[in-house]
Structure 1
Amino acid sequence: MNVGIDKIGFFTPNYYVDMVDLANARNENPNKYLIGIGQTEQAVIPNTQDTVTMAANAALQVIDDSNRDKISLIILGTETGIDNSKSGAIYLQNLLGLSRHARAFEIKQACYGATAGIQMAKEFVNLHPNQQALVVGADVARYGVRTAGEVTQGGGAVAMTIAADSTILKLSKNSSVYSDDIMDFWRPLNRTEALVDGHYSNDIYQQFFVKTIHDYLQTNDMNLTDLSALVFHLPYTKMGLKGLREILPELSETDQKHFLSEFEASRVYNKRVGNLYTGSLYLSLLSLLDNSDDLHAGDQIGIFSYGSGAQGEFYTGTLQPGFKNSQRKKQINEILNQRTRLTVPEYETMFAQWPKLDAGDYHLDDLKDHSQFTFTGVNESKRQYQTKA
């Protein structure tokens, strides 16, 4: 049975900061950000958007009357939870008007959460081929103004439906996983900004990639050249390039050029958005689907997922005849091109307006946020959401 990704959509809010502007404001050579980090723009998240609203806005692109009643599993992968108890997936279920008979829950393991959701959804659909699952990776990446991690911030959501007879990507039955108790990145309960050991995290990422891809290829009696492209978790796009370079010596010069070309296609969108944490890998997959000129139905794609702390997983997918979608590509480019470019002071002000964990009750004015779903504050310690017509 062809179980896999049937639809995929993306959302990020209507603001960004240009990396040249940020570099100049921080007295850095812009190439440190443009080349050294591999980013050109970074999404800036207003306080009227959170993981729930971004997930719901992304899901609008994959949920319609043709599949709404088939969704019986809702999984939100996030490390930017909005409640220590209640799952964001429950809010998502309500905002989207999905069945009350659906299972709905949240998964947390750093940037790996959406992948865990996809693997669970795949098994669910194998058992229930007439039903579908909604899996969303949604996050806000915050490290702080004028910190070492500032250039790797961002946010947004990627929503996917998992179904039998999928039109985009058939998922492999097997995968290779590796996990260890690693303190490369963490976010204590009293913080909205993450803590990270950057160089250590880069090293662990590359180690986990090499371990899992080689294990997968060996276990499944495959060669690297059986794959037409590799997709990486991209908290910043240079990180994926570092991973790719670990295995390039195993390829011919011609194959190296091919994999590098496909990697460039896979980071077109990520370069303009920044870090989505759980959604980063799947935005990269979406970018590859939309921007590669050399892929065809039947090609196998290698997929590397990584979540600090740490969990790595490598699996593959086979492209289906419907993987190209010009309307989807047009919609995503419109989302990115129609955003408002903030000055660095404006970005700093918006960043500082993010609600504190102990903010109590408050109301947010969402008149400038034209997204269909917005967050409007907290009343009696209960989060308030609005659906616009």
Structure 2
Amino acid sequence: MITRLAVSGYRSLRDLRLSLGRLNVVTGANGSGKSSLYRALRLLADVAQGRVVQSLAEEGGIQSTLWAGPESFSRGMKSGEVPVQGTVRRNPVALKLGFAGDDYGYAIDLGLGPSASLFALDPDIKAEAMWTGEWLGRSNVFAERRGPGVRIRDGDGAWRQASTTLAWFDSMMTHCADPRDGLDLLLMRDRMRNWRFYDHLRTDRDAPARRQQVGTYTPVLASDGADLASAIITVRQTGDREGLAAAIDDAFPGATVDIDSRDGWFELEMRQHGLLRPLRTAELSDGTLRYLLLVAALMSPRPPELMVLNEPETSLHPDLLGPLARLIALAAERSQVVVVSHAAALVSALEDAGARRIGLEKSFGETTAGDDDPPKWEWPKR
């Protein structure tokens, strides 16, 4: 489980450090930085996929994603005695991402590339580190990268040079993970690749979930929900069949779902009390379809270590927020869950279920976590 999350220099997250629990709900006013925090988590996952540079490019390049304010705020700036203005920089421009748990921690430092390069909008990976425990220290680091050089500590505590020519766009997480000499890196990479994000479960009239799909064993719902029918029948056959029925009945009393299978093509049907025939997915309301998609995602027979939901309340009637909170709390028994939401009713229900509330605020353009004391954190040196 991730117990500490740190982001520095990314959009409004100038220097944000958070403590996380098993179930977390991130909330705050519009523009407080909720989406930036969600994107930062996705960027961390993209490191393990080998596409963090491409992901930043899709956001407009590293220069458009960097913190746009001064490196630090003086007392006079905060009191209003002097205007907010740039100061002499003490540290290089950087976008830093990191997390840690009781077992391992990882951090990456991304900086500006050569201005004369045709790829000037791409970031350079300047430094990386992986260590044991919740914060980086001299004695607990066992893999580190500075520029093109990577070294890994062996079982006897001796350092081995793993690379001297690692490209600026390649992470040691993907290019130095080896089952013999880089096993811990390999295991961490696979764990991060297992993280799951849901922020684009489509429910519009042309949504993939509203169409028939070829049926196949589906323990993990697709990010757009295209394989909903297959995911539901997989939960029913290999997962928590009774829990699935209870989650649907909790939201829609007396309702049941079934799968119409013809020549290997699946389509979900929903039977509701009082109706003479089942409703197909093309006939369901956006809110009903979204809830069923969330059921399929949260009841996965192959739960991830970390699941992140971005504004899952979209399109849902207020009456469905209570059942959704109970569904999320149930999923948190098998996975660490982070929910980003501005729905007060959902936030309150999750807090009642034991969620750690992370209230984001913005001051002078910078996102802060309210009155929460930031946990201890150290970044790797370039």
TM-score where L is the length of structure 1: 0.26
Higher relative contact order (CA 8 A, sep 6+): 1
Higher helix fraction (1 or 2): 1
Q: Mark the structure with the bigger radius of gyration.
A: 2
TM-score where L is the length of structure 2: 0.27
